[in-house]
């Protein structure tokens, strides 16, 4: 039996040891040094992004939005920079059958006021037919501009699920950066907060102390039923949809199997 009052309390239920404030602070300071190094490395990567060569594209290509067909150049709204999110789309699917990952990402991009203040416009592009897209955005309550890029080639159309940045110089438009997959994560502030909680994202791939909850598959929490239970079953929706008017339990997703 350990009788040393200053000794760490053994971990219970697989949790890390319980220690006094000074011991915790020392461990926290050690981790902080690593976090600062990670931040500086991120700064260097951001500088490298800014230094990437550019590709000129045709800014007169038309996309379809709430006001009908408009040239891609109009998406800049007179600003010099533009960031778009390319939202995946399932033709003919009901609202609850659209991509849970894209729904979650765009939900974190509902307000572009700070981007606009910094001279950056924002828009969502998708390959869906405009008639379906307009109905969907009305249901979701989105206020950011959406456009159909159906039939267009990359980098404006093509494969969706990307964040893409463009620069305007007068009437000339340039592609400057693009990312997908986990490169989209910085948009999702919820993931960053979960990374700072004891149990993390609750995904199986994460390293965690022995005995910690094992977690589910990546993105398991992005689609739930009305009770909040994570599922891709016939009564599920992308999580953000449950806060929207009319988001009731459903009988069909309009498609088969999970997508993430």
Q: Inform me whether the pLDDT recorded for 258 exceeds 80.
A: no
Percentage of the chain exceeding pLDDT 90: 81
Alpha helices in 141-259 (DSSP H): 189-194
Domain covering 51-180, topology: Glutaredoxin (3.40.30)
Give residue 210's pLDDT.
86
Q: Inform me whether the pLDDT recorded for 12 exceeds 70.
A: no
Q: Using pLDDT thresholds of 50, 70 and 90, give the confidence band for residue 14.
A: low
**Calpha distance 175→154 (Å, rounded):** 10
Under 8 Å between Cβ of 185 and 179: no
pLDDT in tens, 137-189: 999 999 999 999 999 999 999 999 999 999 999 999 999 999 999 999 999 99
pLDDT in tens, 84-101: 999 999 999 999 999 999
Under 8 Å between Cβ of 63 and 72: yes
Phi, psi of 167 (to 5 degrees): -125, 140
Q: Which two tokens stand for residue 68?
A: 């009908």
Query: Residue 86 forms beta bridges with which residues?
Result: 125
Tell me the torsion sign for CA atoms 54, 57, 60, 66: negative
Q: Using pLDDT thresholds of 50, 70 and 90, give the confidence band for residue 255.
A: low
Give residue 10's pLDDT.
46
Burial, 227: exposed, middle or buried (Cβ in 10 Å; 0-12, 13-18, 19+)? exposed
Query: Residue 216 forms beta bridges with which residues?
Result: 203
> Across residues 131-141, what is the average pLDDT?
96
Q: Using pLDDT thresholds of 50, 70 and 90, give the confidence band for residue 253.
A: confident
Under 8 Å CB-to-CB from 67, ≥6 apart: which residues? none
**Calpha distance 64→51 (Å, rounded):** 32
Q: Inform me whether the pLDDT recorded for 257 exceeds 60.
A: no
Percentage of the chain exceeding pLDDT 70: 92
Q: What is the pTM of this model?
A: 0.89
Strands (E), the chain: 55-57, 62-65, 68-71, 81-87, 120-126, 146-148, 162-169, 172-180, 223-224, 237-238
């Amino acid at each position: 039996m350990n009788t040393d009052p200053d000794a760490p309390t053994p971990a219970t239920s697989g949790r890390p040891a319980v220690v006094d404030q000074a011991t915790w602070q020392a461990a926290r300071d050690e981790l902080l040094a690593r976090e600062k190094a990670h931040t500086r490395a991120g700064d260097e990567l951001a500088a490298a992004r800014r230094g990437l060569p550019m590709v000129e594209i045709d800014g007169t290509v038309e996309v379809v939005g709430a006001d009908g067909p408009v040239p891609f150049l109009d998406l800049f709204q007179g600003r010099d920079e533009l960031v778009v999110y390319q939202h995946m789309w399932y033709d003919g699917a009901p609202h609850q059958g659209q991509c849970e990952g894209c729904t979650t990402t765009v939900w974190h991009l509902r307000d572009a006021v700070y981007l606009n203040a910094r001279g950056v416009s924002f828009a969502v592009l998708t390959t869906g037919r405009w008639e379906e897209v307009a109905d969907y955005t009305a249901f979701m309550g989105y206020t950011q501009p959406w456009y159909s890029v159906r039939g267009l080639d990359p980098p404006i159309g093509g494969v969706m699920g990307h964040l893409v940045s463009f620069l305007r110089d007068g009437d000339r438009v340039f592609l400057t950066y693009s990312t997908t997959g986990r490169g989209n994560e910085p948009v999702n502030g919820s993931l960053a907060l979960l990374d700072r909680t004891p149990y993390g994202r609750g995904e199986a791939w994460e390293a965690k102390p022995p005995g910690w909850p094992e977690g589910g598959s990546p993105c398991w929490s992005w689609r739930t039923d009305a009770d909040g239970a994570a599922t891709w079953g016939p009564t599920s929706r992308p999580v953000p949809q449950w806060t929207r008017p009319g988001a009731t339990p459903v009988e069909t997703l309009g498609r088969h199997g999970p997508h993430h």
